[in-house]
Chain A
Amino acid sequence: MGKRSAKGWLYLLPAILFLGFFLVYPLVDVFVYSFEESYNFASQTYAGAGTYNYSYILRDPYFLQAIKNTFILVIITVPVSTGLALLISLALNSIKRLRQLFQTVYFLPYVTNTLAVGLVFMILFQRTPYTDGFVNLMLSWFGAGPVDFIDGPYAAKMFVLCLYTVWIVLPFKILILTSALASVSEDYYNAARIDNTPPFRVFRKITLPMISPSIVYLVITGFIGAFKAYSDAVALFGTNLNAAGMNTIVGYVYDMLYGSSGGYPSYASAAAIVLFVIVLTITVINLLVSKKHVHYNS
């Protein structure tokens, strides 16, 4: 290897060391862990290799609850947030005055600490002996409620979790869609205007195809992000998510690793790999479906 070649590797060395030690090695290791049976964390020994860890977690009611919660969260928040972001971006794109102000305001949730602001949502929705909370006050104006959204029925808790998730993920989606909309060439719209094309047809035949790559990108990253939901749930319901019945798959992984129910890296690894397989499958399906329907500029 020549001197020049060595220099390149030298510059890369820190990155390779960090990535190798904290990304590549753990990636291999997590598969190994997931097949090591009755791994003992203290003595670092294991009894044998097999699929027991997988069959254990797939029978664990907490894991099944976590899978159910995560799927509900994904199925609700991905379409709702993407649709709402599209609506907001179209509205933003159609105005000139105050546009920048709105854009700035809408981006704010992106730069907030999820755990901290989650507490605000908690007190807005929580019903305590001292107060019904602000949301229940609003519900009472319409003659509904009061409902305890934090310690109450499952549907109410799921509603708050979905709402908070949408609130958190919208800034990113609005940002991506507004820049996609802004980059659609005026020529198309001018041509449509000359032909007197009705607005909805313009949207369906011009706008939507032109921004479809961005929408696909958002749907895919949205699925991935929602499947990994965790800190939003902690912010609303506290660290003991199993007790609240609101755990997510990622939450289950961390609970298995650490905390009152922790100390089982093998179960954690198996759960993490199940999550990874789910995410990979959904992403591949998304890509296959979008290939048929998406218009790419060539």
Chain B
Amino acid sequence: MDNNFTGAGKAARIRKKIFRVLIYLFLAFWGLVVLFPFYWMVLTSIKGYGAYNSEYIPQLYTADPTLENYVEAFTSVPLGRYFLNTIVFTVGTTAIMLVVTVLAAYAFARLEFRGKNLVFLLFLSLMMIPSELVVITNFVTITNLDLRNTFTGLILPSVTSVFYIYLLKENFEQVPDQLYYAAKVDGTSDLKYMFKVMIPICRPTIVTITILKVIECWNSYVWPRLITDDGNYYLVSNGIQAIRESGFGRENIPAMMAAVVAISVPLIVLFVIFRKMIMAGVSRGGTKG
């Protein structure tokens, strides 16, 4: 009886162990599926042009890695300019977004004025408007204002994010009222209170929305494509598309992959540094847009 019992327990333990191994195999398999494209792009980017094109059967490694494709990517197409443009666009958009968002969130969280609740409700309902619906008029507006191929035209319609206002307002409201009244007694102005108390306390949320906006800007494709046809104003997304369609000549895949690696690296570095904040921020309501 006793013997029998331990035998059954042993079988159960083995079954459990096998199950565990299967789970790890499954997870590792999916990890491979996720990582393989990254491996492939790095690998291809360090293969020589001649070596790559002579591989009828693709090789999973390379014997003599080279950096010539990176030189090619930054010299024979204006990749550096695309980078610079994207940085200007990202910094400009994010900076204006922060000012607008902080002020609006402060108004909703801390100030009293007539119609506040109604306006807030209207703001929330704006979250449901799909960008595809408004992009048409914005395109016409920017074209008529003669702002195509300018940073103003690129940046202004990309600024607004109702969701970030909502997120920050929720956070601002958690700051105890007593602090505000104490500051008021001391004669502190609202603006000063906002900068000296609210923003420092809510810094994690502000950093989170900043990073989410930076990711959004770095990846934005539709608006830049619509509003720029002058290569001098391309961002990395429509830049890489231009490279693909007319850049190095169709067959220089290694140079193209070097450009892809260069475009991917900044965000991956950002992710590695701010991993926790990004994941927490996204799980609170980001979608891939």
Contacts and interface: CB of A to CB of B under 8 A. Distances in A.
A203 interface: no
Nearest to B112: A4
Given A109-B34, A111-B268, A133-B58, A29 B137 contact: yes
Contact of B241 (A27, A87, A225, A234): A234
A33 B137 contact: yes
A64 B31 CA distance: 37
B237 interface: yes
Given A11-B103, A276-B133, A112 B119 contact: no
Given A5-B113, A108-B268, A117-B264, A30 B133 contact: yes
A120 B40 CA distance: 7
Contacts of B222: 230-231, 254
A29 to B, nearest CB: 4
Contacts of B33: 167
A176 B275 CA distance: 15
Contacts of B40: 120, 123-124, 134
B267 interface: yes
A221 B288 CA distance: 10
Given A14-B104, A33-B136, A131-B57, A116 B37 contact: no
B58 A106 contact: no
Interface residues of A, number: 89
Given A5-B113, A131-B56, A23 B275 contact: no
Interface string A1-44: 10011111101101110110111111101100100000001001
A111 B104 contact: no
A207 to B, nearest CB: 16
Contact of A238 (B31, B104, B245): B245
B219 interface: yes
Interface in A246-292: 250, 253-254, 257-258, 265, 268-269, 272-273, 275-276, 279
A123 B44 contact: yes
Interface stretch (A47-55, A90-98, A153-161, A190-198): A90-98
B241 A22 contact: no
B253 interface: yes
Interface stretch (B3-11, B155-163, B173-181): B155-163
A15 B140 contact: no
Interface residues of B, number: 90
Nearest to B256: A119
B99 A14 contact: yes
Main secondary structure of the interface of B (DSSP, over half): helix
Nearest to B261: A116
A11 B260 contact: no
Contacts of B20: 95
Contacts of B113: 4-9
Given A19-B162, A110-B282, A258-B139, A91 B27 contact: yes
A115 interface: yes
A7 B221 contact: no
Nearest to A101: B31
Contact of A272 (B34, B111, B132, B218): B132
A68 interface: no
A4 B279 CA distance: 39
Given A26-B137, A131-B56, A225-B288, A238 B244 contact: yes
B195 interface: no
A23 B260 contact: no
A25 B264 contact: no
Interface string B193-216: 000000000000000000000010
B257 interface: yes
Nearest to B260: A116
A258 B226 contact: yes
Contacts of A239: 225, 241, 245
A179 B32 CA distance: 23
B264 A116 contact: yes
Q: Which of B123, B159, B238, B279 has the most CB of A within 10 A?
A: B279
Contact of A115 (B26, B111, B237): B237
Nearest to A222: B287
A27 B215 CA distance: 26
A169 interface: yes
Given A11-B103, A30-B136, A167-B33, A114 B219 contact: yes
Contacts of B226: 254, 257-258
A21 to B, nearest CB: 8
Contact of A265 (B34, B136, B157, B278): B136
B27 A95 contact: yes
Given A111-B268, A258-B226, A120 B136 contact: no
B68 interface: no
12 contacts: A4-B113, A5-B112, A25-B137, A107-B278, A112-B267, A114-B221, A116-B237, A116-B264, A131-B57, A134-B58, A258-B226, A279-B130
Enumerate the 10 nearest inter-chain pairs by beta-carbon distance, A residue then B residue, closest first.
A8-B113, A26-B137, A11-B107, A26-B134, A15-B104, A8-B111, A5-B113, A29-B137, A111-B271, A116-B260
Given A107-B278, A254-B222, 10 more contacts: A11-B104, A23-B160, A26-B134, A111-B278, A120-B40, A137-B58, A221-B287, A231-B222, A257-B135, A273-B133
